[in-house]
Amino acid sequence: MPSLLLHMCSPSPAWSPRFNPGRCSIKLHDILVSMSVGKAQHLPAVVDSSSDDDDMTHGPGRLGVNLATSQCQIEAVRRLHNSLDPERDYLERSACQTAAGRALWNHVIHDPLAEVFAGDALLRGLQEKVRRDQDKNARETAGVMMAVRTLWFDARLAEALVRFDSTSTHQVVLLGAGMDARAYRLRSLKDCSVFEVDSAKALHLKESILQAMVEAGEPLPRLEAKSLHRVASDIATEDWFGRLTAAGFNVHLPTVWILEGFLYYLQEVRAKETLRCISDHCMNETVVLADFMNESSTHLAHELKTHFYFHSDWPEELLPKLGFPQVKVSQIGDPDANFGLINDELNLFHQTRRVSRHVKADVNGNPYRRLLLVESWAS
Ligand SMILES: C[S@@+](CC[C@H](N)C(=O)[O-])C[C@H]1O[C@@H](n2cnc3c(N)ncnc32)[C@H](O)[C@@H]1O
């Protein structure tokens, strides 16, 4: 499956998947939720959350997250999600789990496909985790990091596109695109060719879900991007760049690269090769947006039933060696990575970002887990 050009379906801005309240059993192993914060901290007992109780069952609660139980009415979509093997298909599940995070925070992300890509079980699992956090009056809530990360990528992407030469077509390449639906949800992509690169298996799952929706009579959301190309390739082992070019990617056009929730699935040598490949080949303005785990974050892989490899505490030192002389690093909670979602000054995100990255652990030996949001420009 070299490349799939996705055809637009009928516009339907008001589209929403048919999810109704219902039963669903889950086995929770949500990721990207506790990743950078470790154990949740608790609010002092004086905090009054009594007025929030009824929010637990009716949509956005105190934290504005979607806690309504949902169940997909499209049987074929349910079968597709149920067919994923937790161990063997951990990459596809990671893609669906990220979509579940977006579905939970959809009031700020506005992803028309998040629920259907997430599937009932993962979404329900994340909702239950939020409930537990709320019951404990935790300062950090499941998925908030995911929401901030997504909004940070959206904001940096929009900013980069505005700065590009407006006379030419722009490109956006998503490596490890998973269930990303930016091509459907961002108006800023109206003049962009979007390329989604992921494994054949992950893209097959994605297209099968969309196909199942169409067959069930559900209109797909309107494509906002100028065009959308899906490029199936294992980025670790195959000539992904060759396939991308064969799909229409043009090295001479200004391009934003989105590596969201992706690099740490690669071995270090592959991650570096991938970044080097981008800077070596691209001849016009090139912006790479990526998140990096620090080393201690990768140790959560076992607990999260996944596999993480590549990490870096200092992307600003690494990236110039790979052809990206300009680098800006942010952390969750920073002014440009907050979006009004992380307000409690005693929140672990705030505590962590105030401590120098040279410090690996607190006085009790608890490691500082960080997710670094990195914007870089190739020379
Ligand atoms: C956590 S998901 C993130 C998906 C998406 N970027 C998002 O933020 O919603 C990680 C994605 O990276 C993809 N991935 C990991 N290793 C890959 C590889 N070697 N080649 C292609 N895709 C890969 C997985 O299939 C998965 O879709």
CA atoms of 112 and 144, how far apart (whole Å): 19
The pLDDT-based confidence of 247 (bands split at 50, 70, 90) is very high
Tell me the CA–centroid distance for residue 290 and ligand 1, in Å.
12
Q: What is the DSSP string of 61-101?
A: -TT--------B--HHHHHHHHT--TTTTHHHHHHHHHHHH
> What is the rounded average pLDDT for all residues in the chain?
83
Encoded tokens for 54: 């009824």
Phi-psi region at 294: left, alpha or beta (left = phi > 0; alpha = psi -120 to 50): beta
| Mean pLDDT, range 188-199, rounded to an integer | 97
Cβ atoms of 2 and 232 closer than 8 Å: yes
Residue bearing tokens 């990617």: 249
Residue 5: its pLDDT value, please? 30
Mutate to test the pocket of ligand 1, among 116, 265, 297, 309 (most ligand atoms within 8 A of CB): 265
Residue 206: its pLDDT value, please? 98
pLDDT for 30 beyond 90: no
Tell me the CA–centroid distance for residue 228 and ligand 1, in Å.
17
pLDDT for 74 beyond 60: yes
Residue 70: its pLDDT value, please? 62
> What homologous superfamily is domain 145-377 in, according to CATH?
Vaccinia Virus protein VP39 (3.40.50.150)
CA atoms of 97 and 191, how far apart (whole Å): 29
Q: What angle do CA 145, 346, 302 make, to 5 degrees?
A: 45
pLDDT for 59 beyond 80: no
Q: pLDDT tens, 75-128?
A: 899 999 999 988 889 899 999 999 999 999 999 999 999 999 999 999 999 999
Percent of the chain exceeding pLDDT 90 equals: 66
What is the pTM (predicted TM-score) of this model? 0.85
Q: How many other C-beta atoms lie within 10 A of the C-beta of residue 49?
A: 13
Residue 69: its pLDDT value, please? 55
Cβ atoms of 260 and 288 closer than 8 Å: no
> What does the domain layout of the chain look like in residue ranges?
17-143, 145-377
Tell me the CA–centroid distance for residue 230 and ligand 1, in Å.
13
The DSSP symbol for 330 reads E
Q: pLDDT tens, 324-372?
A: 999 999 999 999 999 999 988 888 899 999 999 999 999 999 999 999 9
Task: Ligand 1: list residues with CB < 6 Å.
Answer: 91, 94-95, 98, 176-180, 198-199, 202, 234-236, 260-262, 265
Question: Higher confidence at residue 93 or residue 28?
Answer: 93
Q: pLDDT tens, 211-241?
A: 999 999 988 999 999 999 999 999 999 999 9
Percent of the chain exceeding pLDDT 70 equals: 81
Closest ligand 1 atom to residue 153 Cα is 8
